[in-house]
């Protein structure tokens, strides 16, 4: 099992939105960065743990956890001309963008703000600290443990 951090703007899709989905399961779509897409398409697998991170908000923070329950499949939004995620270069035979399905696991009692993560010397090698803008990024088992303990 691998661990990941997935970023979402809470006004767009929050941990509460995921928890409110039927069966507490929703699809993670709209990824339009090639490095994040490659992680999603090639590395993220069923059973992997996800730290759910709220970004572009007053206090960016890890707010809970989820689990990948369906591996990468073509993001249908890329084929929809009315979608903001439409990609005219994508085709059913050669999709460019992918999504996965996540199942909500927990909402942290204590969100773990980015400032706390940056201040913890054990987390200085986190991709979130070193390459903050990436929307899907790997997390080590130790980083997962430290953040999960802080959030509970």
Q: What CATH code is carried by the domain that includes residue 72?
A: 3.10.590.10
> Which structural domain range is residue 142 located in?
3-151
The predicted structure's pLDDT at residue 133: 85
Confidence at residue 132, expressed as pLDDT on a 0 to 100 scale? 75
Phi-psi region of 30 (alpha: psi -120 to 50; beta: other; left: phi over 0): left
Hey, what are 19's tokens?
A: 């928890």
Token pair for 59: 């206090």
Cα Rg for the chain, rounded, in angstroms? 15
Nearest to 72 by CA among 100, 32, 96: 100
Count, residues in the chain:
152
Percent residues over pLDDT 90 in the chain: 97
Residue 13 CB: number of other CB atoms within 10 A? 18
How many domains are there within the chain? Answer: 1
pLDDT tier for residue 48 given thresholds of 50, 70 and 90? very high
* pLDDT number for residue 148: 97
Q: pLDDT value at position 59?
A: 97
Asked if residue 30 lies in contact with residue 77, where contact means CB atoms within 8 angstroms, the answer is yes
Comparing CA positions, the residue from 116, 15, 113 lying closest to residue 64 is: 15
For residue 1, what pLDDT band results from cuts at 50, 70 and 90?
confident
User: Which two structure tokens, joined as six digits, stand for 112?
Assistant: 């773990």
- Reported as a single tens digit per residue, the pLDDT across 126-144 is 999 998 789 999 999 999 9
CA nearest to 85, candidates 30, 26, 133 = 30
- The mean pLDDT value for 14-37 works out to 96
Q: What is the largest CA-CA distance in the chain?
A: 46
For residue 80, count other CB atoms closer than 10 A to its CB: 12
Are 23 and 101 in contact, with CB atoms under 8 Å apart?
A: no
Q: Give me the pLDDT at residue 138, please.
A: 97
Write the pLDDT tens digit of every residue in 52-106: 999 999 999 999 999 999 999 999 999 999 999 999 999 999 999 999 999 999 9
Place of tokens 């329950």: 69
Query: What tokens does 10 get?
Result: 């809470």
Quote the mean pLDDT of the chain.
Answer: 97
């Amino acid at each position: 099992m691998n661990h990941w951090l997935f970023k979402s703007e809470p006004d767009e899709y929050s941990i509460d939105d995921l928890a409110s989905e039927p069966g507490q399961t929703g699809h993670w779509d709209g990824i339009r960065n090639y490095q994040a897409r490659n992680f999603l398409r090639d590395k993220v697998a069923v059973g992997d743990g996800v730290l759910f991170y709220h970004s572009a908000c007053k206090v960016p923070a890890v707010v809970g956890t989820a689990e990948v329950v369906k591996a990468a499949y073509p993001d249908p939004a890329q084929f929809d001309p009315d979608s903001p995620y439409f990609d005219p270069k994508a085709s059913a035979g050669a999709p460019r963008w992918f999504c996965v399905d996540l199942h909500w696991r927990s909402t942290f009692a204590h969100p773990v703000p980015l400032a706390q993560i940056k201040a913890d010397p054990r987390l200085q090698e986190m991709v979130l600290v070193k390459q903050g803008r990436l929307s899907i990024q790997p997390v080590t088992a130790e980083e997962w443990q430290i953040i999960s303990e802080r959030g509970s």
